[in-house]
């Protein structure tokens, strides 16, 4: 199987709003084949995180890499879940490969505890804050059909979505 990048779905594709199903016993081969392609897609974009629904696959699978380009540190999270979140909040600018060129300040819990399985089935758990904490929350949201714009006020969300739609129409006309 090739590690060729996959097409990234762009909003308003309805698949971005669907809840992904947990990776089960029979999904092992498909997930092991999908993970390197998702990483290749994320690196090519370029991005720091990607959830399977963003490439049209309805499974609870996330890849991310916050390492420097010259020293990648890829993570593959199977069935990740947030098991605890701090009451303290933090605001950070977010963007999304499924909403190209759109960015906004998003408020989320400052710290989270996340549990997942590795590709080999090993259970893992970590506490994260800062960029890693935001990235984990953002990607796990995708597994539930939630986008970063859903955390904005209706006014900000509508302005951003209108801008995205306008840019996508202009791009389509140019192609």
**Torsion over CA: 113, 115, 120, 122 (sign):** positive
Where residue 101 falls (left for φ over 0; alpha for ψ -120 to 50; beta otherwise) is: left
What is the CB-side half-sphere exposure of residue 67 using CA atoms within 13 A?
12
Q: Is 127 annotated in the active site?
A: no
Q: CA torsion sign, 28 to 30 to 32 to 38?
A: negative
What span, in angstroms and rounded, lies between the C-alpha atoms of 42 and 72?
Answer: 12
The rounded distance, in Å, linking the Cα atoms of 42 and 90 is 25
DSSP symbol at 138: H
* Coil vs helix vs strand at 38: helix
Element (H, E) at 104: strand 99-109
Q: Which one from 88, 93, 118, 139 is the annotated catalytic residue?
A: 139
Residues annotated as catalytic are 139
């Amino acid at each position: 199987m090739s590690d060729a990048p996959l097409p990234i779905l762009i909003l308003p594709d309805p698949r971005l709003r669907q809840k992904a199903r947990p990776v089960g016993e029979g999904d092992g081969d498909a997930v092991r084949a999908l993970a390197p392609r998702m990483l290749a897609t994320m690196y090519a974009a370029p991005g720091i995180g990607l959830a399977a629904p963003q490439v049209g696959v309805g499974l609870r699978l996330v890849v991310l890499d916050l390492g420097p380009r010259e020293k990648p540190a890829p993570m593959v999270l199977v069935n990740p879940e947030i098991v605890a979140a701090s009451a303290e909040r933090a605001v950070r600018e977010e963007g999304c490969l499924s909403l190209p060129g759109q960015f906004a300040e998003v408020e989320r819990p400052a710290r989270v505890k996340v549990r997942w399985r590795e590709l080999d089935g090993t259970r893992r758990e970590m506490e994260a804050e800062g960029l890693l904490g935001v990235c984990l929350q953002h990607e796990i949201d995708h597994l539930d059909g939630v986008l970063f714009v859903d955390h904005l006020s209706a006014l900000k969300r509508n302005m951003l979505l209108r801008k995205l739609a306008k840019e996508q129409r202009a791009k389509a006309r140019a192609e």
